Structures are given as structure tokens and as C-alpha cells.
Chain A
Amino acid sequence: MATTASITLASDIMPNFGGYTKSMTLTEAGTLTDIKETTGYARRQLSAASKVDLVTMANLLVGEDTTNLSHKIFIKNIGYRDAIDKTTGVKVYINSVEVGVLYGGDWMLCPVVASDNEDIEVEPLTDDTVVLEWVMFYEG
């Protein structure tokens, strides 16, 4: 059983940048053993500019274990009702730090620390409705 992620970057900003592709297999920390736990794929609709928990660490098998640090989360801003709005963004917080803003269509794949009481939080920039899809892979 394996979980894999591949990224392809393309850009015309820099002349002669030939693009970039990389693949990885998600494994348990420091090993070649495939990661085994997942939240499953989920979605969350947000309609207010207030911070909410997207992932509550205490609800996962991992609980709040800072020693197992190969967890990864994928989050995608899919807009609302098939409309991708590049002007509507959602802040993402990990360990109480704002990582950045996912605008319409943006996605992120990020390693995650499961710190005590430090859930993964999201906060829309406006009250406009936006939907996030997400999945987390973690060590139990």
C-alpha cells in the first residue's frame, strides 16, 4: 500500500527555466515504510471570516505526538459552486503560525507537526463562501 505525490512546476517568468517535476512516496518518519493512516478526503464550506479548526489533532490516532513528524496535509481551495475566485483566499495556520493564503484554485502539500493543542486552522479573508478540500496522511 503506497501513497504517492507528484508535482510539476512550469513557468515563463525566467527565460530557459525548463520546468520541474518531482515525485515522492509518503513514508513513516525516517523509514522506507509506507505511511498507513489517513483522515480520508474531506471538504469544508466556509462562509465567514473567522478562524476555525480544519484538523483537530486530538481526534486523530496520532493525538498530539511531536515525535512522529512525517505527517503531511494536502489542502485545495476549490472555490464555490464550480466558480474559482482568485480574489477569495483562505489563510492556513499550522502550529499557530500563518503559513500563507490559498486563493481560488491554489493547493498546498505541507509537512505537519502535531504539537500539543496546535490544530490546523483556516480563516477566510472575507465572508464570501469558499470550499476547501483536504486530506491528511499521518503516523498512528
Chain B
Amino acid sequence: MATTAAITLNSDLMTGALSVSGNTTMMKAGTSADDLDQMKMGYNKIPTGTSFDLLDATAAGIDKATKVYLCNESTDETYYVTIVIDAKIIGRLYGGDWMFIPWNQDDATHDLEITATGGTNNITWIAFHEGETLGTSGD
């Protein structure tokens, strides 16, 4: 089955309605036959005001084909989280918004960070990736 992400995007803003679809099979970087083989997911309550690392960039993730899905599950439309990569703002996800992006951990500072505004924001996230190994236990 592999790992796939499909989108349907519809808009009637223009006189001719827009309907776009996409469907990608997630492969390891630069390959056409080797599927991504690792994933992690979570659900977090993000208190307002503090910036948190949602996903830490690692050397194993440099130039890989990581994909990240992130949804702000907050039901209050005025709540939002600010998405930051490498200390620069990418954009905001308001309550109900989601995003799906490739994430190249270009270097160790390329963390994916979020900051909540308005109140405690509830976040669902899924990362599909490759190449991660567990660290040896230190105790």
C-alpha cells in the first residue's frame, strides 16, 4: 500500500470553479521505488505564549524526504499557532486549519517550532520520514 497523501481543493471564488486534486506516494529522497518507512505522530495541547519545538531537526534528516502533516484542532477560530522553521515564521494555522509540507532538516537549527496564541491550542501532527535511529540509552 505504501504511504500516500491525497488532496482535493475546491474553490468557487472565480466564475469558473476551481477543482484541483493531488495524490503522492511518499518515497525516500530521490528514489522512485523505495517507500518512506518510518513515521511518528502525536496530539499536544500547546499553552499560549511559549515557543516549543514540535519536531527537532536531526543530522539524520538532512536532505531526506520527510513530510509533515499538522492540524490545529482548536474549535475557536480566533486561536492560532505560528509555524516557525529555522527561527523564521512560515505562517499561521488558525483553529480548524491544517497543512501538509515537505520538511528538509537542512541543518540542526531547522527545527519545526510552534507558538500558540489566544489560548491553549490542540495540535495533531504526523511525520513520515526515514533514516532515524534510536539513541543508545545512557543509563
Contacts and interface: CB of A to CB of B under 8 A. Distances in A.
A99 to B, nearest CB: 6
B64 to A, nearest CB: 9
A92 B91 CA distance: 14
Contacts of A14: 39
A17 B40 CA distance: 11
B20 interface: yes
Interface string A82-115: 0001110101101111111111011111111101
A74 B11 CA distance: 13
Contacts, number: 200
A10 B26 CA distance: 10
> Which bucket holds chain A's interface residue count?
35 or more
Nearest to A10: B4
Interface stretch (A35-43, A44-52, A56-64): A35-43
Nearest to B27: A86
**Chain A interface mostly helix, strand, loop or mixed?**
strand
B53 interface: no
Interface in A1-40: 1-14, 17, 20, 22, 24-27, 29-32, 35-38, 40
B2 A137 contact: no
A38 B11 contact: yes
Contact of A30 (B26, B39, B80, B85): B80
Interface of B: 1-14, 18, 20, 22-27, 29-32, 35-39, 63, 65-67, 69, 71, 77-78, 80, 83, 85-86, 88-94, 96-104, 106, 110, 126, 128
